Structure 1
């Protein structure tokens, strides 16, 4: 079983796997919501409200303090272009975060409705930001 298959299994039944045009639509939303460096990271210097975090509790605290809304819908995006994008629930993603981040080097958890992103970079740095 591949790492993406293990991730999909861990996330459970209430997910949607996006390919092709649906995947491209989410990538366009992501690209238009956050500035990306030429080396493929979010350009955090251009994101006014962001924080470097170390734990899921810190992520949740940042969201509770800065996000007005209760949508828990997120998209998991990986740096590997051949992988699908997964639509899931943020709580479930946090529950199986090790399976999610094992799929590829860099991972983004993106909420287009509340316009925030969590970037989990391969060097272990985790940042969250709002647009």
Structure 2
């Protein structure tokens, strides 16, 4: 079983693997919502409002202070282009975050409807920002 398979199994029933066309649509939206460096990290100094966080509680606190309804469906995007994009619930992703981040080096949790992104980068830094 691959790490992706383990992640999908851990997320359970409320996970959807996007079709290629939907994946391209989400990626396009994601890339137009946030500036990126040449090496694939969000260019945080060009994001108006963001914070570096260390725990899920800090992420939830940031969201509670800045967004009315943040627990909409989110997309999980990995840096490996051959991997699919999955849609799930933020709470469920947090429950199995180790399975989610084990799939690839860098992981983004993107909510286009609420306007936030969480970047979990391979150097250990976790940042959350609003577009």
Q: TM-score scaled to structure 2, two decimals?
A: 0.97
User: Contact conserved, 2:50 with 2:129, CA < 8 A, in 1?
Assistant: yes
Distance, in Å, in 1 between the alignment partners of 2:70 and 2:5 is 29
Displacement of 1:71 after TM fit?
Answer: 4.0
Unaligned stretches of 5+ in structure 1? none
State the SS of the aligned residue for 2:129: strand
Residues 52-131 of structure 1 mapped to structure 2, 5 A cutoff: 52-131=52-131
Displacement of 1:68 after TM fit?
Answer: 2.4
Displacement of 1:15 after TM fit?
Answer: 1.2
Q: Deviation per CA, 1:97-131, whole angstroms, max 9, x where unpaired?
A: 00000000000000000110000000110000001
Match of 2:28 in 1: 28
Displacement of 1:19 after TM fit?
Answer: 3.0
1:48 aligns with 2:17: no
Distance, in Å, in 2 between the alignment partners of 1:130 and 1:68 is 13
Q: CA RMSD in A?
A: 0.8
State the SS of the aligned residue for 1:45: helix
Q: TM-score scaled to structure 1, two decimals?
A: 0.97
State the SS of the aligned residue for 2:117: strand
State the SS of the aligned residue for 1:6: helix
**Greater mean deviation of Cα atoms: 10-19 or 73-82:** 10-19
1:9 aligns with 2:19: no
Displacement of 1:70 after TM fit?
Answer: 4.4
Q: Deviation per CA, 1:22-61, whole angstroms, max 9, x where unpaired?
A: 1000000101111111110000000011000000000000
